[in-house]
Amino acid sequence: MAGKSKTRSPLNLPNLTEIQQRDPGAPSPAQAYLNTLSPSGRRSQHTALNNLVYILSGGAMSDALAFPWELLRYEHTSGLAAYMVDIGYAKSSVNKHLVALRRVLAESYQLGLYADHNDYYRAAGVKSLRSETLPRGRTLKMEELRALINSCLADGKNPTLGVRDAAVIMVLYAAAVRRQEIVDLNLADLDLKEGKLRILGKGSKKRQVYLQVDAVGALQNWLELRGKQLGPLFTRVTKSGRVMLKRLTPQAVYYLLKHRQTQAGLDDFTPHDLRRTSITDLLSAQVDVLTVSAIAGHASADTTKRYDRRSEENKKAAAQKLPSPFAEPPSPLENPNREDEKPS
């Protein structure tokens, strides 16, 4: 007799008869939460909230802005993480969704939508899952970084574009900035005399970073072509080499790097790998982790440590030091008995 298939019981969902579209004029906890995020974080977490609404409403809704989050109680959220794993979400993705859930419930509480504060604390008490993930991305070697810069400066078809791209790459590496952060930079954020940048990071948090001499020089070269008009620091350049005071997009930075990577003949890397490389190189230079964390704009030094790839390089080097018991057999051409051998 075949055994019964093991299936997980569905979530104890809110009473669907109580779920109604939120009055457009009423305060939206989801919107209040999303307003605290950067544009890129806003898009990502809005999608996560929509996913949660679909799950929590049993498929009846998918709009986070219209969902009545204040109806959620402990019995609705306590099994959410395990349920999401069961239906195919990775633990890291589940934790990202739980962050969004806790934040939007906190906004519901702050807006006075929970009549009983105990209902909020119990519902928001859901804990993240413990997970160990393999490091993502890669770090670039110094010769790869130089090859990228050289590919920009050797651009004979559009020298202005090459100067701009070289400055973008230098700042991405030297300041360990994110794509969104570099396109958000304005000329007013740059202090060439002090060699520093004012960066608007995640959650609208501002920080100052200082640049190495070569990065300042790359920016000076770009500003000679860009001019001193107020506006975005990095702007578009036409095919004819004319500078336009229009802000780059994060996608434009991605294509910029992809183009220069192809020109330089390098293996694939992402824009975030330049940030990862910068953090690893700073730690390798014995800069303390708290200072590196401040430069990178991380809320926690633990986040900075996850960017450190020195351990991966050490493991790779250690593997080559291990003696091998494998003795390479002679090639078929060197075997004098090859013709006499018969299959057993």
Catalytic positions, written as ranges: 178, 202, 272, 275, 298, 307
What's the rounded Cα separation, in Å, for the pair 17 and 142? 61
What's the rounded Cα separation, in Å, for the pair 165 and 303? 29
Each residue of 189-225: b (16+ CB within 10 Å) or e? bbeeeebbbebbbbeeeebebebeeebbbbbebbbeb
Cβ atoms of residues 331 and 154 within 8 Å: no
| Torsion sign over Cα 81, 84, 90, 93 | negative
What's the rounded Cα separation, in Å, for the pair 93 and 105? 19
Cβ atoms of residues 296 and 176 within 8 Å: yes
What's the rounded Cα separation, in Å, for the pair 186 and 198? 9
Strands (DSSP E) contained in 149-278 are 190-191, 196-200, 206-210, 235-237, 243-247
Burial of 154 (0-12, 13-18, 19+ CB in 10 A): exposed
Q: Roughly what angle, to the nearest 10 degrees, separates helices 289-296 and 271-284? A: 160
Cβ atoms of residues 167 and 221 within 8 Å: yes
What's the rounded Cα separation, in Å, for the pair 292 and 218? 23
β-pairing verdict for 206-210 and 243-247: unpaired
Q: In what order do the strands lie in the sheet with 196-200?
A: 190-191, 196-200, 206-210
